[in-house]
Amino acid sequence: MAMTSEAGAQQPRGRIDALDVARGIALATMAVYHLSWDMKWFGVVDWPVDSHPAWRGFAIAIAGSFLFLVGIGLALAHRDGLRIGPALRRAARIGLAAAAISLVTYFALGEQYVRFGILHALAAGSLVALPFVRLPVVVTALAAALAAALPLLVSLNFAGNSWLAWTGLVAHPPLSVDYVPLFPWLAAILAGLVAGRIAILRDIPARARHWRATGRTGRTMALAGRHSLLVYLVHQPLLFGAVWLAVTAGLAPDRTSTAFVEQCTLTCSLSGDAQGCAAACACTLRSLRSDGIWQDLLERPDDAELGAALNDRYGQCRGRSNLDAD
């Protein structure tokens, strides 16, 4: 009888479609956020993706859901005892992917590169959370609460502390396009671990295995969830490239040009004749484009020589609009 129980405990348990679908949904929402960020970057939209509280809350919810699901996965993977080898190999694989993202974004974005993003937090947090897999659930819950509160209790503020940015405890972390430090984000992993442990005690995973993802959408979400690291690595380059191609090919609305004409007209109209101002500003834009100055001006808006060229074209167009009005 004991031998039968032990063998049953050690047999492969298989994947849970519901968990894979949950990962797939998290990936889909992340793709929505990244596509919005890319369109804002290229000026296709003027959404405050990087500043508005609602957008920031959306990003936080996405990152939190990923890390929460990591915690659930840890509980399921180590339910029969710590499996150190597979855990280390998985963390190493994710760590290499995180290092690659840091390297690529360093060359692409300069000082705003990803120093410690979602993959860094996932790899490090998975290892830090390992000891809690076998500790009492209440201890893990208290540790999650402490991890969430730690940035509010500790604020490191001394010269040269930027190397500690990964902790989340520095007062002024360096600017980064993706910053998910260990604290407070370890709390999400530990919370997921608590939820997973409780689910196991109630035999929820065994019942969940009977459910299968059906339909094209369900199967696609499950497939993406099974290969979440690969999907994460390729989706942003594909989205960024697609938006860049659309803008380059003139298929996307040029928000930058529209904003220029609107701002120019508003400034000009302060002195009267709104209709003439609109015509002069549109003429200025056409002139800058035909002379090949517009793109240079976008890339170097503070260039004094380009600024003088802009003023010269505007003066010529304004003079023409006045003559037409006469």
Divide the 326 residues of the chain into consecutive groups of 10 and give the mean pLDDT of each group.
34 76 96 92 82 92 96 93 92 95 89 92 96 95 97 87 90 89 97 96 90 93 94 93 85 76 82 76 87 82 86 85 56
Structure confidence at residue 57 (pLDDT): 95
Q: Is residue 2 part of a domain?
A: no
Structure confidence at residue 11 (pLDDT): 36
Q: Is residue 271 part of a domain?
A: yes
Rounded to an integer, what distance in angstroms lies between the CA atom of residue 192 and that of residue 141? 10
Specify the pTM: 0.77
- 231, 248, 265 - which closes a domain: 248
Domain match, 228 and 263 both: no
Structure confidence at residue 309 (pLDDT): 87
Q: Is residue 87 part of a domain?
A: yes
Q: Give the number of domains in the chain.
A: 2
Rounded to an integer, what distance in angstroms lies between the CA atom of residue 165 and that of residue 182? 9
**Owning domain of residue 53:** 14-248
Q: Is residue 139 part of a domain?
A: yes
Q: Is residue 239 part of a domain?
A: yes
Structure confidence at residue 46 (pLDDT): 77
155 is written with which tokens?
A: 């604020």
Domain match, 165 and 261 both: no
Domain match, 125 and 153 both: yes
Domain match, 82 and 199 both: yes
Structure confidence at residue 272 (pLDDT): 64
**Residues pairing with 156 in the sheet:** 170
Domain match, 243 and 272 both: no
Rounded to an integer, what distance in angstroms lies between the CA atom of residue 211 and that of residue 209? 5
Rounded to an integer, what distance in angstroms lies between the CA atom of residue 205 and that of residue 224? 20
267 is written with which tokens?
A: 């400034």
Domain match, 84 and 233 both: yes
Q: What angle do CA 212, 214, 217 make, to 5 degrees?
A: 125
- 248, 269, 292 - which closes a domain: 248
